[in-house]
Structure 1
């Protein structure tokens, strides 16, 4: 079929193919329009549209593997990984719908630079962003296996994205590489293959790190580490030869960059950085120490102006978010996806802004995203507020670019504990996107879902439930019940239901999501394990501790396999195993588990990390369960002092430990001392949480019980009456009394 004829052809009656923008061994990539949502996309056809099919057996295997790998790719949601919108089969052609990236791959960048190497700051920035993306995908058990300059895109705003995750692995096991390329070698591109790939050995995430080393070597020198025309000579070089140092090619390469690339190119995987997270840490920390100053901004931010400072009014600080992460990784929403601009709401026309100004704003938006990646959320918020103000002035309040900046403002506010202000910002973005893109557009639904998440942070769970329910219905209608975004929304709704006390509903929904994620993503996928963790939590809340114990143990074991034994999520599941053991009266087993967990937490995160102290608290609780109250009291006092120093005297965790001190004193018959501590805890909770907060009321009950033990029944009865009156008022008004 000629390209002029194909221009009018629709894939699935929705994706209109416009022009071929790339060809390779895996097929063709087309520039296309998603006519249902009115946005430009890229459509990758696994075999050229209109070409005859190959043998039936091979096609059947390929089709099944494609579906499995496409689901994996669609589940990846990170700013450094190409977004996959949809996939399927049409008239015998397997297709993948992705965001349309406006920029150049690294091979094209080198070509545009006449083969000359890139500037050092640009190389370092690319390395940091690719390492960040690899850390995310490797944590989910995904290895790319074909990382090369052509699979890494540099966008116009400076962002870097890895392409072909999942799809790059299709050839393994079905001989696709040799069938499509005619080269009978292992999967991968010879100039960037690791020694273990060449030798047919076991390949893990460290193979991607070797390939990244090859890419960085080429960016720094203009040629790959083994630049031979003969493919066999290239493979032998990877296997047997140590490449010459970067500084032998150019003297301006810093020593730490040379050292990092040399380590990445180690022949043995054990001699390379342990993982991409460690690599990124080295890139950032080595670069910072080399410059003897604060962390530098990426090279592409040079020459930028700060813009006009635009601050919202009435910002106030609320308690920090300790439950972040349920909505998954935040993603870049600036317009590389190619959303079509809306018509002016007034029916008039807005003068077209200068292309140079729009490019500058896009660059500054990218700088804000980079600051966020570094955890510098206050600065990121400043940048996004300034860019949003200027974009609104030149593009309008409801333009997708303006709303993209406001969306990032919402994230920055949420990350700095300003939940009320984040809610206002996300609400504004959701309303604007609904007008500009439609109420069921994925970007609109993403903003609405963030409003629900922030409502949950603010303990406004009834309102959050209404928003989640509406968003879920829209996602199921437009995306289908098993789309990763649909499942994420259902997971969040299940979480919110448990906070409303609707535990049976929460358990049923979480179990359904876990089953769907197992079917779509696999049983050990991190998203599946998050939902299985929520199932275990609901079982525990329902008192079904034996089932909860089994579920937590399964999650801990699977996370250990998928993420590693020291990953925070693995350690969190082990902590919950200890809780379950304690609830079942198996204190000795719980004590042994917590001692091992404390040792691992202290080794990985340090002795004063809040999670290390949480595990130490578990040691004290289970010593008490075993009747070893002198030891339990000593442990509670040590943990209380450590939490006071690390978290502050009024932090909820500190107050829990101080209460445990009072419990130990009571069991040892030292009721006068216990009364003093109980009163201190009750006073602090009333000051922080309010007079009728359940924890404050529980503390006053503790105090009354202590008075009874001291033979002061009149005071105890009066305090019990006061607590009962406050509980009744809370039940009548449905809200907390003022502090």
Structure 2
């Protein structure tokens, strides 16, 4: 491209305006018409790159071009032409002379824009959205960086790169993967966050967020924790704008709050209605404006952030600008990404039309100060580094969707290319290796994951030092995988060492320190140190409540561990109360159908059963089975787990015919889904035998008990506690059949095996 300087014998490239992760934007001259234009070029990719990934990007670029070229409105960036030249996709647009709203706020030191400008911008954007929505197009990523104010005052919406054609169902899911909620967290609608149906009213919500920010200097939910921002959008009423800035007109305050209604039905009907309200308000006739939606509370419900809230003109204590931190786990997972630094926004994969492009950035500075592993290694090109960074981020997105095998393939390929280009100990290479280890642990390959994390920990210790947060993150993952392998004593030693280093370098209340203490408490329980596990998890829960709030997922996952320890200590009344607290908190914070909420409800049922309150447990499990079936399907392992609990409590209520029928159904489904020797299948098969015994059908029960015992001996070994328990069941059944001699002999065999293991006979 740079060699010819001419595209299709028509567009002559003059100056590089900006460069982004997926391409470049040039100021160019249209030789045919004699006018200056902007040309955006999708970077060429060589044969060494992932061809399927390239195809997706090309399809998205072409669709983006067709969508944008069809729009003809003064408030939308004009696309003149698009095509492909020598393997490079290009887009020709009008050349804009102006600043986007994000840049205007930065120019103004994050102070709000003048009130007349704010109202004028609102009216112009509403007019442009009204037009695009009539064309059946939803923007889906409206934010300050995608709205330009030109030198003459005209406002234009840019970047329809992830627009959705209302009549073209399925386009977005094909390109982004099922379940990705595309957008930027400070400007996402509640329905977009939850993965629900998105229409033009979602754009209106995002516009409300933009107007709130340019009018007050802060977004409606001004928090640095991504989880808190998203929950704020879903659950918290925003503070009225005039509490931040009294000179804002009342009609504008009301209009923006209506745009920020939690449900689409409460928002203005369409952008045309919105524009009319603004126009009427500007003439001073706002008393005639209709008011939709419920009245707004004057107070603001604050969500406890894990880091201080940043106000206009302030910067975070670490010096980074105020940006959402996508690297924090948003549910109960233990992972903190090793690839992205706290406070940095993730790369944009959409190759947007006229998005926010970085200019004058020397990407080679990313490696400044790091000596190459081999002096002869050539300096990699900025284009290669950018491409690898985007593919790394694509792997992270696959992991967030649960596609761990595919994510592992991407990270292994990127790791190999980074090692070749940058060296084995470069931080970027080690970040990719870290993600490879994480995908291995999530796909059941714990031993391979341990080796990978060990390599990363050693490399980071050499280049970053033993107490660097990224070194400690790798060592902490080693401990987690050791626990997966059942090597709990070794895991304990690693956790304890990492915790001491984290407390020394980060302090006792740092989120990473608390995460390490949580994992250490978990591991103590697996070592049988139940009192220590309970005390430590309780202390971590108190600290997280104080720092993050009682309903934060990290707080609730530790409280769940407190409840688990209480149950193992036999304190079932306290465990029941704690599990209920977790279930209620998760329902509020994550939703009633979230997997973590449903898991806590299951444990409430276990606690009720242990306390002899089987009738209550039965009702709980009936409701849980219905919810699991609706959310996960009838054959999902968690649905079957809930049905197993239902059957157990039917038996406790002496409803044995029903219990036996339920146990048989669950056993058949588990065998089909999980396999005949899976532990859950064998538990259900044993429950069948229990039901047969209580119904006096001991001969049939004996056959089933023996099947379970033989399977457990085959899988676990003859001296495993579960195999020994099954042989005891078999002996009891023999007694009931009057075969005492055989029963005594079997009891003696079990006792001898217990002695060999050093376990008391009873």
Contact 1:545 1:580 in 2 (8 A): yes
Q: Tell me the equivalent position of 2:590.
A: 563
1:518 matched to 2:559? The reply is no
Contact 1:452 1:467 in 2 (8 A): yes
Cα distance, 1:184–1:122 mapped onto 2, change above 3 Å: closer
Q: How far does residue 25 in structure 1 lie from its aligned partner after superposition?
A: 8.9
Q: Tell me the equivalent position of 2:520.
A: 493
Q: How far does residue 439 in structure 1 lie from its aligned partner after superposition?
A: 1.7
Q: Tell me the equivalent position of 1:382.
A: 409
Q: How far does residue 350 in structure 1 lie from its aligned partner after superposition?
A: 4.3
1:333 matched to 2:339? The reply is yes
One of 238, 254, 258 as aligned partner of 1:195: 258
CA distance in 2 between counterparts of 1:208 and 1:369 reads 34
Q: Per-residue displacement from partner, 1:45-98 (whole Å, max 9, x unpaired)? A: x99xxxxxxxxxxxxxxxxxxxxxxxxxxxxxxxxxxxxxxxxxxxxxxxxxxx
CA distance in 1 between counterparts of 2:147 and 2:454 reads 43
Contact 2:143 2:207 in 1 (8 A): no
Q: Tell me the equivalent position of 1:552.
A: 579
1:128 matched to 2:181? The reply is yes
After TM superposition, list the pairs within 5 Å mapping 1:137-176 onto structure 2. Answer: 147-148=209-210
Q: How far does residue 510 in structure 1 lie from its aligned partner after superposition?
A: 0.9
CA distance in 1 between counterparts of 2:463 and 2:276 reads 51
Cα distance, 1:357–1:173 mapped onto 2, change above 3 Å: closer
CA distance in 1 between counterparts of 2:225 and 2:273 reads 21
Q: Tell me the equivalent position of 1:443.
A: 470
Q: Tell me the equivalent position of 1:478.
A: 505
CA distance in 1 between counterparts of 2:252 and 2:514 reads 33
Q: Per-residue displacement from partner, 1:545-600 (whole Å, max 9, x unpaired)? A: 11111222222222233333333222222221221111112222222222222222
1:615 matched to 2:673? The reply is no
Q: Tell me the equivalent position of 1:651.
A: 678
After TM superposition, list the pairs within 5 Å mapping 1:248-259 onto structure 2. Answer: none
CA distance in 1 between counterparts of 2:734 and 2:543 reads 53
Q: Tell me the equivalent position of 1:664.
A: 691
Q: Per-residue displacement from partner, 1:446-494 (whole Å, max 9, x unpaired)? A: 2222111111112111111111111212222222211222111111111
After TM superposition, list the pairs within 5 Å mapping 1:618-697 onto structure 2. Answer: 618-697=645-724
After TM superposition, list the pairs within 5 Å mapping 1:1-80 onto structure 2. Answer: 24=105, 28=109
Q: Tell me the equivalent position of 2:440.
A: 413
**Worse-superposed segment, 556-565 or 569-578:** 556-565
Cα distance, 1:619–1:229 mapped onto 2, change above 3 Å: closer
Contact 1:423 1:451 in 2 (8 A): yes
Q: Per-residue displacement from partner, 1:163-217 (whole Å, max 9, x unpaired)? A: 78669989x99989558656436899999x45165xxxxx55x589979x99xx9
CA distance in 2 between counterparts of 1:187 and 1:428 reads 60
Q: How far does residue 233 in structure 1 lie from its aligned partner after superposition?
A: 5.5
CA distance in 1 between counterparts of 2:368 and 2:685 reads 57
Q: How far does residue 268 in structure 1 lie from its aligned partner after superposition?
A: 6.6
TM-score, with length taken from structure 2: 0.61
Q: How far does residue 725 in structure 1 lie from its aligned partner after superposition?
A: 3.8
User: Which structure is larger by alpha-carbon Rg, 1 or 2?
Assistant: 2
Q: Tell me the equivalent position of 2:138.
A: none
Cα distance, 1:110–1:147 mapped onto 2, change above 3 Å: closer
**3-state secondary structure, aligned to 1:130:** coil
Contact 2:560 2:600 in 1 (8 A): yes
CA distance in 1 between counterparts of 2:335 and 2:372 reads 32
CA distance in 2 between counterparts of 1:164 and 1:695 reads 44
CA distance in 2 between counterparts of 1:120 and 1:234 reads 36
CA distance in 1 between counterparts of 2:585 and 2:743 reads 50
1:578 matched to 2:605? The reply is yes
**Worse-superposed segment, 492-501 or 524-533:** 524-533
Runs of 5+ consecutive residues of structure 1 not aligned to the other structure: 1-20, 30-45, 48-103, 153-160, 198-202, 218-222, 242-266, 270-323, 733-739
Contact 1:344 1:350 in 2 (8 A): no
Contact 1:503 1:538 in 2 (8 A): yes
Contact 2:374 2:423 in 1 (8 A): no
**Alignment RMSD (CA, Å):** 4.6
**3-state secondary structure, aligned to 1:430:** helix
Q: How far does residue 498 in structure 1 lie from its aligned partner after superposition?
A: 0.9
TM-score, with length taken from structure 1: 0.62
Contact 2:241 2:253 in 1 (8 A): no
Runs of 5+ consecutive residues of structure 2 not aligned to the other structure: 1-101, 113-140, 165-171, 195-204, 215-221, 295-329, 345-364
Contact 1:658 1:677 in 2 (8 A): yes
Q: How far does residue 507 in structure 1 lie from its aligned partner after superposition?
A: 0.5
Aligned residue pairs total 534
Q: How far does residue 377 in structure 1 lie from its aligned partner after superposition?
A: 2.2
Cα distance, 1:147–1:549 mapped onto 2, change above 3 Å: same
1:726 matched to 2:753? The reply is yes
